Protein backbone atom coordinates (compact mmCIF):
# COMPACT_ATOMS: atom_id res chain seq x y z
CA UNK A 1 0.00 0.00 0.00
CA UNK A 2 1.32 3.41 -0.95
CA UNK A 3 2.46 5.55 1.93
CA UNK A 4 0.10 8.41 2.66
CA UNK A 5 1.05 11.52 4.55
CA UNK A 6 -0.86 12.28 7.72
CA UNK A 7 -2.92 15.47 7.97
CA UNK A 8 -0.33 16.90 10.38
CA UNK A 9 2.47 16.36 7.88
CA UNK A 10 0.46 18.01 5.11
CA UNK A 11 -0.37 20.95 7.37
CA UNK A 12 3.25 21.49 8.42
CA UNK A 13 4.35 21.19 4.79
CA UNK A 14 1.87 23.91 3.85
CA UNK A 15 3.12 26.12 6.68
CA UNK A 16 6.73 25.61 5.54
CA UNK A 17 5.88 26.66 1.98
CA UNK A 18 3.97 29.72 3.18
CA UNK A 19 6.81 30.69 5.51
CA UNK A 20 9.31 30.43 2.65
CA UNK A 21 7.10 32.63 0.46
CA UNK A 22 6.82 35.21 3.26
CA UNK A 23 10.60 35.29 3.74
CA UNK A 24 11.25 35.74 0.01
CA UNK A 25 8.62 38.50 -0.17
CA UNK A 26 9.83 40.42 2.89
CA UNK A 27 13.57 40.13 2.24
CA UNK A 28 13.82 42.99 -0.36
CA UNK A 29 12.21 45.41 2.11
CA UNK A 30 14.42 44.14 4.94
CA UNK A 31 17.53 44.49 2.76
CA UNK A 32 16.50 48.05 1.91
CA UNK A 33 16.25 48.83 5.62
CA UNK A 34 19.66 47.24 6.26
CA UNK A 35 21.42 49.23 3.54
CA UNK A 36 19.60 52.47 4.36
CA UNK A 37 20.75 52.14 7.98
CA UNK A 38 24.44 52.04 6.99
CA UNK A 39 26.87 54.10 4.92
CA UNK A 40 27.49 53.95 1.18
CA UNK A 41 30.04 51.13 1.44
CA UNK A 42 27.44 48.62 2.69
CA UNK A 43 25.99 48.09 -0.79
CA UNK A 44 29.22 46.54 -2.11
CA UNK A 45 30.50 44.80 1.01
CA UNK A 46 31.18 41.07 0.95
CA UNK A 47 29.85 39.25 2.79
CA UNK A 48 26.88 41.59 2.81
CA UNK A 49 25.64 42.87 6.17
CA UNK A 50 22.40 41.29 7.35
CA UNK A 51 21.85 43.35 10.51
CA UNK A 52 20.65 46.99 10.43
CA UNK A 53 23.18 49.61 11.41
CA UNK A 54 22.79 52.78 13.41
CA UNK A 55 22.43 55.37 10.65
CA UNK A 56 18.82 54.77 9.62
CA UNK A 57 17.36 57.94 11.11
CA UNK A 58 20.26 60.05 9.83
CA UNK A 59 19.79 58.73 6.29
CA UNK A 60 16.03 59.22 6.48
CA UNK A 61 16.59 62.81 7.60
CA UNK A 62 19.06 63.38 4.74
CA UNK A 63 16.53 61.95 2.28
CA UNK A 64 13.89 64.39 3.48
CA UNK A 65 16.32 67.29 3.18
CA UNK A 66 17.95 66.43 -0.15
CA UNK A 67 15.04 64.75 -1.92
CA UNK A 68 12.23 67.06 -0.77
CA UNK A 69 10.34 63.99 0.48
CA UNK A 70 7.90 65.94 2.63
CA UNK A 71 6.40 67.66 -0.43
CA UNK A 72 6.78 64.49 -2.48
CA UNK A 73 4.71 62.42 -0.04
CA UNK A 74 2.01 65.10 0.03
CA UNK A 75 1.91 65.28 -3.78
CA UNK A 76 1.73 61.50 -4.12
CA UNK A 77 -1.11 61.35 -1.61
CA UNK A 78 -3.02 64.04 -3.52
CA UNK A 79 -2.41 62.39 -6.91
CA UNK A 80 -3.11 58.79 -5.87
CA UNK A 81 -6.08 59.69 -3.64
CA UNK A 82 -7.81 61.90 -6.21
CA UNK A 83 -7.32 59.43 -9.04
CA UNK A 84 -8.53 56.53 -6.88
CA UNK A 85 -11.78 58.27 -5.91
CA UNK A 86 -12.46 59.34 -9.50
CA UNK A 87 -11.65 55.93 -11.00
CA UNK A 88 -13.81 54.04 -8.50
CA UNK A 89 -16.79 56.35 -9.08
CA UNK A 90 -16.61 56.48 -12.89
CA UNK A 91 -15.78 52.80 -13.24
CA UNK A 92 -18.66 51.72 -10.99
CA UNK A 93 -21.10 53.98 -12.84
CA UNK A 94 -19.95 52.90 -16.32
CA UNK A 95 -19.65 49.26 -15.27
CA UNK A 96 -23.26 49.30 -14.06
CA UNK A 97 -24.41 50.81 -17.35
CA UNK A 98 -22.55 48.27 -19.49
CA UNK A 99 -23.56 45.34 -17.29
CA UNK A 100 -27.25 45.92 -16.62
CA UNK A 101 -28.64 48.74 -18.77
CA UNK A 102 -29.83 48.29 -22.33
CA UNK A 103 -29.09 51.07 -24.79
CA UNK A 104 -28.16 51.42 -28.44
CA UNK A 105 -24.48 50.85 -29.20
CA UNK A 106 -23.66 49.27 -25.85
CA UNK A 107 -21.56 46.49 -27.35
CA UNK A 108 -19.64 48.81 -29.66
CA UNK A 109 -18.91 51.33 -26.91
CA UNK A 110 -17.71 48.62 -24.55
CA UNK A 111 -15.48 47.18 -27.29
CA UNK A 112 -14.03 50.66 -27.85
CA UNK A 113 -13.32 51.05 -24.12
CA UNK A 114 -11.59 47.67 -23.96
CA UNK A 115 -9.73 48.46 -27.18
CA UNK A 116 -8.04 51.46 -25.57
CA UNK A 117 -6.31 49.00 -23.22
CA UNK A 118 -4.43 47.61 -26.22
CA UNK A 119 -2.72 50.95 -26.95
CA UNK A 120 0.68 51.16 -25.20
CA UNK A 121 1.05 54.08 -22.82
CA UNK A 122 4.36 55.08 -24.42
CA UNK A 123 2.63 55.55 -27.79
CA UNK A 124 0.47 58.39 -26.44
CA UNK A 125 3.11 60.17 -24.36
CA UNK A 126 4.19 62.74 -26.97
CA UNK A 127 0.68 63.96 -27.94
CA UNK A 128 -0.34 63.85 -24.28
CA UNK A 129 2.68 65.96 -23.29
CA UNK A 130 1.94 68.51 -26.02
CA UNK A 131 -1.70 68.69 -24.98
CA UNK A 132 -0.98 69.04 -21.26
CA UNK A 133 1.86 71.56 -21.52
CA UNK A 134 0.91 73.68 -24.55
CA UNK A 135 -2.89 73.55 -24.57
CA UNK A 136 -3.55 73.64 -20.83
CA UNK A 137 -0.26 75.02 -19.50
CA UNK A 138 0.10 72.31 -16.84
CA UNK A 139 3.86 71.77 -17.06
CA UNK A 140 5.18 70.87 -13.59
CA UNK A 141 1.59 70.89 -12.34
CA UNK A 142 -0.15 68.06 -10.50
CA UNK A 143 -3.26 68.61 -12.61
CA UNK A 144 -1.32 67.32 -15.60
CA UNK A 145 -0.70 64.06 -13.73
CA UNK A 146 -4.21 63.71 -12.30
CA UNK A 147 -6.58 64.67 -15.12
CA UNK A 148 -5.44 62.13 -17.78
CA UNK A 149 -5.93 59.30 -15.27
CA UNK A 150 -9.37 60.18 -13.90
CA UNK A 151 -11.05 57.49 -16.03
CA UNK A 152 -9.71 53.95 -16.35
CA UNK A 153 -10.62 51.51 -19.11
CA UNK A 154 -9.44 48.65 -16.92
CA UNK A 155 -11.64 49.91 -14.08
CA UNK A 156 -14.71 49.99 -16.34
CA UNK A 157 -13.97 46.47 -17.59
CA UNK A 158 -13.33 45.19 -14.06
CA UNK A 159 -16.53 46.61 -12.58
CA UNK A 160 -18.60 45.55 -15.56
CA UNK A 161 -17.45 41.95 -15.15
CA UNK A 162 -17.98 42.08 -11.38
CA UNK A 163 -21.47 43.57 -11.53
CA UNK A 164 -22.55 41.20 -14.31
CA UNK A 165 -22.26 38.26 -11.91
CA UNK A 166 -22.69 39.84 -8.47
CA UNK A 167 -25.84 41.89 -9.04
CA UNK A 168 -29.12 40.04 -9.69
CA UNK A 169 -31.28 41.63 -12.37
CA UNK A 170 -34.33 41.00 -10.16
CA UNK A 171 -33.15 43.72 -7.75
CA UNK A 172 -33.13 46.29 -10.54
CA UNK A 173 -36.59 45.25 -11.66
CA UNK A 174 -37.86 45.49 -8.09
CA UNK A 175 -36.43 48.98 -7.81
CA UNK A 176 -38.11 50.08 -11.03
CA UNK A 177 -41.41 48.61 -9.83
CA UNK A 178 -41.09 50.71 -6.67
CA UNK A 179 -40.68 53.81 -8.85
CA UNK A 180 -36.96 54.43 -8.24
CA UNK A 181 -35.00 56.30 -10.90
CA UNK A 182 -31.85 54.86 -12.46
CA UNK A 183 -29.59 57.09 -10.35
CA UNK A 184 -31.41 56.10 -7.16
CA UNK A 185 -31.10 52.43 -8.07
CA UNK A 186 -27.40 53.00 -8.67
CA UNK A 187 -26.95 54.73 -5.32
CA UNK A 188 -29.12 52.49 -3.13
CA UNK A 189 -28.84 49.11 -4.85
CA UNK A 190 -25.75 48.97 -7.06
CA UNK A 191 -23.17 50.64 -4.80
CA UNK A 192 -23.74 48.37 -1.76
CA UNK A 193 -23.36 45.30 -3.96
CA UNK A 194 -20.37 46.76 -5.79
CA UNK A 195 -18.52 47.67 -2.57
CA UNK A 196 -16.18 44.63 -2.47
CA UNK A 197 -15.18 45.01 -6.12
CA UNK A 198 -14.85 48.77 -5.75
CA UNK A 199 -12.59 48.28 -2.72
CA UNK A 200 -10.29 45.98 -4.70
CA UNK A 201 -10.24 48.39 -7.64
CA UNK A 202 -9.52 51.30 -5.29
CA UNK A 203 -6.60 49.52 -3.67
CA UNK A 204 -5.10 48.50 -7.02
CA UNK A 205 -5.54 52.02 -8.40
CA UNK A 206 -3.97 53.66 -5.35
CA UNK A 207 -0.96 51.34 -5.49
CA UNK A 208 -0.55 51.89 -9.24
CA UNK A 209 -0.49 55.67 -9.09
CA UNK A 210 1.47 55.84 -5.85
CA UNK A 211 4.21 53.84 -7.60
CA UNK A 212 3.86 55.57 -10.98
CA UNK A 213 7.15 57.03 -12.24
CA UNK A 214 7.03 57.28 -16.04
CA UNK A 215 4.56 60.13 -16.60
CA UNK A 216 5.32 62.17 -13.43
CA UNK A 217 9.06 62.01 -14.23
CA UNK A 218 8.37 63.53 -17.65
CA UNK A 219 5.98 66.24 -16.47
CA UNK A 220 7.28 67.24 -13.01
CA UNK A 221 10.64 68.59 -11.88
CA UNK A 222 12.65 68.49 -8.65
CA UNK A 223 10.75 71.44 -7.18
CA UNK A 224 7.36 69.72 -7.31
CA UNK A 225 7.94 65.94 -7.34
CA UNK A 226 5.92 62.90 -6.43
CA UNK A 227 7.60 60.38 -4.16
CA UNK A 228 8.84 58.19 -7.04
CA UNK A 229 10.27 61.22 -8.85
CA UNK A 230 12.01 62.24 -5.61
CA UNK A 231 13.60 58.78 -5.38
CA UNK A 232 14.72 59.00 -9.02
CA UNK A 233 16.25 62.42 -8.35
CA UNK A 234 18.37 61.04 -5.51
CA UNK A 235 20.03 58.76 -8.08
CA UNK A 236 21.11 61.66 -10.29
CA UNK A 237 24.75 62.67 -10.28
CA UNK A 238 28.09 61.05 -10.92
CA UNK A 239 28.20 59.07 -7.67
CA UNK A 240 25.00 57.54 -6.36
CA UNK A 241 24.57 57.15 -2.61
CA UNK A 242 22.48 53.99 -2.49
CA UNK A 243 21.96 54.29 1.25
CA UNK A 244 19.97 57.49 0.60
CA UNK A 245 18.19 55.95 -2.40
CA UNK A 246 17.04 52.96 -0.35
CA UNK A 247 16.14 55.23 2.57
CA UNK A 248 13.80 57.04 0.17
CA UNK A 249 12.46 53.68 -0.99
CA UNK A 250 11.68 52.74 2.62
CA UNK A 251 9.88 56.06 3.07
CA UNK A 252 7.80 55.41 -0.07
CA UNK A 253 7.03 51.79 0.88
CA UNK A 254 5.69 52.17 4.40
CA UNK A 255 2.59 54.24 3.49
CA UNK A 256 1.56 51.43 1.13
CA UNK A 257 2.09 48.84 3.83
CA UNK A 258 -0.05 50.87 6.21
CA UNK A 259 -2.85 51.16 3.63
CA UNK A 260 -2.78 47.44 2.98
CA UNK A 261 -2.70 46.53 6.68
CA UNK A 262 -5.64 48.83 7.39
CA UNK A 263 -7.78 47.89 4.38
CA UNK A 264 -6.57 44.42 3.41
CA UNK A 265 -8.67 42.48 5.91
CA UNK A 266 -11.78 44.54 5.11
CA UNK A 267 -11.31 44.03 1.37
CA UNK A 268 -10.79 40.28 1.68
CA UNK A 269 -13.75 40.01 4.04
CA UNK A 270 -15.91 41.98 1.63
CA UNK A 271 -14.93 39.76 -1.28
CA UNK A 272 -15.77 36.62 0.67
CA UNK A 273 -19.07 38.08 1.83
CA UNK A 274 -19.96 39.06 -1.73
CA UNK A 275 -19.03 35.60 -2.98
CA UNK A 276 -21.25 33.92 -0.37
CA UNK A 277 -24.19 36.20 -1.23
CA UNK A 278 -23.64 35.55 -4.92
Give me the pLDDT at residue 89, please: 92
Contact (CB, 8 A) for 233 and 144: no
CA 102 to CA 221: how far, in whole Å?
46
Q: Which uninterrupted H or E stretch holds 239? A: none
Q: Which of 165, 160, 173, 169 is nearest to 90 (CA)?
A: 160
The pLDDT assigned to 265 comes to 65
- pLDDT value, residue 266: 59
What pLDDT was estimated at residue 7? 66
Q: Mean pLDDT for each 10-residue chunk of the chain (278 residues)?
A: 59 84 86 78 72 76 74 89 92 88 84 86 86 88 89 90 82 77 81 83 88 87 84 70 77 80 65 50
Provide the phi-psi class of 221: left if phi over 0, else alpha when psi is between -120 and 50, else beta: beta
Contact call for residues 247 and 36 (beta carbons, < 8 A): yes
pLDDT at 8 (0 to 100): 65
Q: What pTM was computed for the model? A: 0.81
The pLDDT tens digits of the residues spanning 198-209 come to 888 888 898 889
What is the model's pLDDT at position 86? 94
pLDDT at 198: 86
pLDDT, tens only, 47-58: 777 777 777 787
Amino acid sequence: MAHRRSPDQARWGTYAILFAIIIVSIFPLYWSIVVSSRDQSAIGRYPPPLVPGGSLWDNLAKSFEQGNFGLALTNSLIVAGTITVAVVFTSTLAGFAFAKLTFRGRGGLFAAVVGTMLVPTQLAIIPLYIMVTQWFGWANDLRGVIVPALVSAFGVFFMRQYLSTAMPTELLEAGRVDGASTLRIYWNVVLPIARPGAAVLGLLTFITYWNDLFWPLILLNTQNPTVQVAIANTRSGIEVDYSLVLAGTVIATFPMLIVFLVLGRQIIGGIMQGAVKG
